[in-house]
């Protein structure tokens, strides 16, 4: 499982657990909170009504007096109220009054007249000067049928003459409780969804940052050119640390590899120079041989110098990860200019250097000096393998978003066993006519420069004979 998915799952599990616990606690607090508010209201109402009922209670007409008539009229009043999306049409209060002994002397519902309520908590506690309230089921088998009763004393000065109880079914508050629970759950789901979205975004960002660094590390491990990906915060610091480590490790390995390669390549010319020097030291050596061996020493020295120069040029390209300041370059114009440099050599070899008649305009972005060296290496290689009387041709075509340059000769071509190795460093083949081998660094240089420009190079044999080098470069936008 990818780290981004693990982070997302862990984050969402934590948020979900926290959200569910919070919702449960909040929902569980809604019902008690509403009922506490209702009890507070009932306590106020009971005390107000107790004061209003005092006169009728003292006069002995509590069951049919003015107070009773007003309460009965209240039961038939159409409230027409619209409270928080809940319509309320009727008063849900029930008022009962007991005398000082706890016997019911008035019941707005007309159900419990004459009943002894002295043992109910609301009446029992109020008769003893305490706050009296209770919640009792009207149907013992239905837990939703509870009714809250809150009592208040009816006083004549300091003398308690009765108890007024206001009762209200808890079901009257159920629409408000249900609405609150729905609102809490709805917004809880919205918050969970938002948390999931934030988690997805955070996981995507983390996966993108880590994925970029992972791809960068893999490319470096594979020896490919890799650009440090854009990152933020600690990921940027980690990327820079990786790049510094790569530079130091690659620099060390690079130097070790080049020292080994250079030592191996210089052994042959050094051996030849040493042998010639020993022969030149002989006093009896004929003058013709002395001239020949001196020329041999000069030739091997030149070969060593060329090898070192080309190796340094290749090292400079291989160590670059990108072109810092690319410029617009017309490939056709650049290649035609390079061909002019080789015109005299081609003429001396008896080789025809033929450009295309009307090459299309092709602009690439890159380093003009390196591209000039790339084409010079290809033309040098083609002329080196072109026999006298043959032709070296180059072409330039646009292929979609790329420009393709091909330079071909009419020489012996490349042996099949060598086609897969011609871009290896120091790999070279005998030149036609018994000439000395090349340094084996020209084509690797071409491949590196092409790759540095986002393109690629290849070499193949032509069906009609000879070899053809192909370089593909991306066109400028």
Kindly state the DSSP code that residue 281 receives in the 8-state scheme. T
Looking at domain 3-178, its CATH superfamily turns out to be: PAS domain (3.30.450.20)
The dihedral region occupied by 48, where left means phi > 0, alpha psi between -120 and 50, and beta the remainder, is: alpha
Query: What kind and span of H or E run contains 296?
Result: helix 287-318
Q: What is the pLDDT of residue 253?
A: 46
Structure tokens at 375: 């084409």
Average pLDDT over residues 41-57: 93
Q: What is the pLDDT of residue 105?
A: 94
- Residue 114 clears pLDDT 80, i.e. is over it: yes
When mean pLDDT is compared across 21-25, 98-102, 354-358, 444-448, the lowest value belongs to 21-25
Hey, do 225-322 and 324-477 end up sharing a CATH topology, with the first three levels equal?
Answer: no
Q: Give burial (CB, 10 Å; 0-12/13-18/19+) of 212.
A: middle
Average pLDDT over residues 39-51: 93
Q: To the nearest whole number, what is the mean pLDDT of the chain?
A: 78
* Sign of torsion over alpha carbons 410, 416, 422, 426: negative
Average pLDDT over residues 111-136: 93
CA–CA separation, 75 and 85 (whole Å): 23
- Residue 254 clears pLDDT 60, i.e. is over it: no
Pairing outcome for strands 146-156 and 159-169: antiparallel
DSSP codes of every residue in 317-376: HHT--S-SS-EEEEHHHHHHHHHHHHHHHHHHHT-EEE--SSPPP-EEEE-HHHHHHHHH
Q: What is the pLDDT of residue 356?
A: 77
From the candidate CATH numbers 2.30.40.10, 3.30.450.20, 1.20.1270.360, 1.10.287.130, the one assigned to the domain spanning 225-322: 1.10.287.130
Backbone angles phi, psi at 224, to 5 degrees: -90, 160
**Rounded to the nearest 10 degrees, what angle do helices 234-280 and 287-318 cross at?**
180
- Residue 323 clears pLDDT 90, i.e. is over it: no
Q: Which residues of 368-390 are buried (b: 16+ CB within 10 A; e: fewer)?
A: eebbbbbbbbbbebbbbbbeeeb
Residue ranges of alpha helices (H) inside 60-98 are 66-75
Residue spans of beta strands (DSSP E) within 20-92: 81-83, 86-88
CA–CA separation, 141 and 156 (whole Å): 41
Structure tokens at 1: 């499982």
Closest CA to 51 of 167, 164, 166, 168: 164
Specify whether the CB–CB gap between 414 and 420 falls below 8 A. Answer: no
Residue ranges of alpha helices (H) inside 87-227 are 121-127, 174-221
pTM of the predicted model as reported, rounded to 2 decimal places? 0.43
CA–CA separation, 350 and 356 (whole Å): 19
- Residue 204 clears pLDDT 60, i.e. is over it: yes
Between the two ends of the chain, the Cα-to-Cα distance in Å is: 40
Kindly state the DSSP code that residue 411 receives in the 8-state scheme. S
Query: What percentage of the chain has pLDDT greater than the value 70?
Result: 73
- Residue 427 clears pLDDT 90, i.e. is over it: no
347-389 residue pLDDT tens: 888 988 887 777 788 888 888 878 888 888 888 888 888 888 8
When mean pLDDT is compared across 43-52, 99-108, 190-199, the lowest value belongs to 190-199
277-299 residue pLDDT tens: 766 677 777 777 667 767 766 76
Bigger pLDDT: 241 or 125? 125
- Residue 159 clears pLDDT 60, i.e. is over it: yes
Bigger pLDDT: 448 or 224? 448
- Residue 314 clears pLDDT 90, i.e. is over it: no
Specify whether the CB–CB gap between 117 and 96 falls below 8 A. Answer: yes
- Residue 118 clears pLDDT 90, i.e. is over it: yes
- Residue 170 clears pLDDT 80, i.e. is over it: yes
CA–CA separation, 152 and 101 (whole Å): 15
The CATH class given to the 324-477 domain equals alpha beta
CA–CA separation, 469 and 334 (whole Å): 17
- Residue 251 clears pLDDT 50, i.e. is over it: no
Per-domain residue ranges for the chain? Answer: 3-178, 225-322, 324-477
- Residue 302 clears pLDDT 70, i.e. is over it: no
- What's the Cα-to-Cα distance from 79 to each of 72, 74, 76, 84, 91, rounded to whole Å? 15, 10, 9, 15, 7
pLDDT tier at 209 (50, 70, 90 boundaries)? confident
Query: What percentage of the chain has pLDDT greater than the value 90?
Result: 19
When mean pLDDT is compared across 73-77, 164-168, 202-206, 219-223, the lowest value belongs to 219-223
């Amino acid at each position: 499982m990818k780290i981004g998915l693990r982070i997302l799952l862990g984050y969402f599990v934590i948020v979900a657990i926290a959200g569910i616990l919070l919702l449960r606690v909040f929902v569980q607090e809604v019902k008690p909170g509403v009922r506490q508010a209702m009890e507070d209201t009932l306590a106020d109402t009971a005390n107000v009504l107790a004061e209003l009922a005092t006169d009728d209670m003292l006069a002995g007409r509590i069951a049919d007096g003015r107070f009773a008539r007003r309460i009965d009229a209240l039961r038939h009043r159409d409230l027409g109220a619209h409270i928080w999306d809940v319509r309320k049409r009727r008063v849900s209060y029930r008022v009962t009054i007991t005398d000082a002994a706890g016997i019911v002397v008035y019941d707005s519902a007309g159900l419990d007249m004459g009943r002894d309520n002295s043992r109910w908590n609301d009446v029992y506690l109020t008769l003893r000067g305490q706050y009296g309230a209770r919640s009792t089921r009207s149907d013992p088998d239905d837990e939703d049928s509870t009714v809250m009763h809150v009592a208040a004393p009816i006083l004549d000065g300091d003398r308690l003459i009765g108890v007024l109880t206001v009762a209200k079914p808890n079901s009257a508050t159920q629409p408000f409780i249900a609405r609150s629970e729905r609102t809490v759950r709805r917004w809880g789901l919205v918050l969970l969804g938002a948390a999931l979205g934030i988690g997805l975004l955070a996981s995507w960002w983390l996966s993108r940052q880590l994925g970029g660094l992972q791809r960068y590390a893999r490319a470096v491990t594979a020896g490919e050119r890799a650009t440090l990906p854009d990152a933020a915060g600690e990921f940027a610091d980690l990327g820079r640390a990786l790049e510094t480590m790569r530079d130091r490790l690659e620099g060390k390995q690079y130097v070790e590899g080049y020292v080994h390669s250079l030592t191996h390549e210089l052994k042959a010319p050094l051996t030849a120079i040493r042998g010639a020097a020993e022969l030149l030291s002989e006093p009896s050596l004929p003058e013709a041989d002395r001239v020949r061996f001196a020329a041999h020493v000069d030739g091997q020295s030149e070969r060593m110098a060329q090898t070192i120069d080309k190796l340094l040029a290749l090292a400079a390209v291989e160590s670059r990860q990108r072109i810092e300041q690319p410029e617009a370059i017309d490939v056709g114009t650049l290649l035609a200019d390079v061909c002019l440099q080789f015109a005299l050599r081609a003429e001396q070899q008896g080789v025809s250097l033929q450009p295309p008649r009307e090459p299309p305009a092709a602009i690439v972005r890159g380093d003009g000096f390196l591209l000039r060296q790339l084409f010079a290496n290809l033309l040098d290689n083609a002329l080196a393998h072109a026999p006298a009387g043959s032709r070296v041709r180059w072409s330039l075509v646009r292929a979609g978003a790329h420009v393709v340059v091909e330079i071909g000769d009419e020489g012996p071509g490349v042996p099949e066993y060598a086609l897969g190795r011609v871009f290896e460093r120091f790999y070279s083949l005998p030149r036609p006519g018994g000439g000395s081998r090349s340094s084996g660094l020209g084509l690797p240089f071409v491949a590196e420069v092409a790759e540095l420009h986002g393109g690629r190079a290849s070499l193949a044999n032509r069906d009609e004979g000879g070899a053809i080098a192909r370089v593909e470069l991306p066109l400028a936008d």
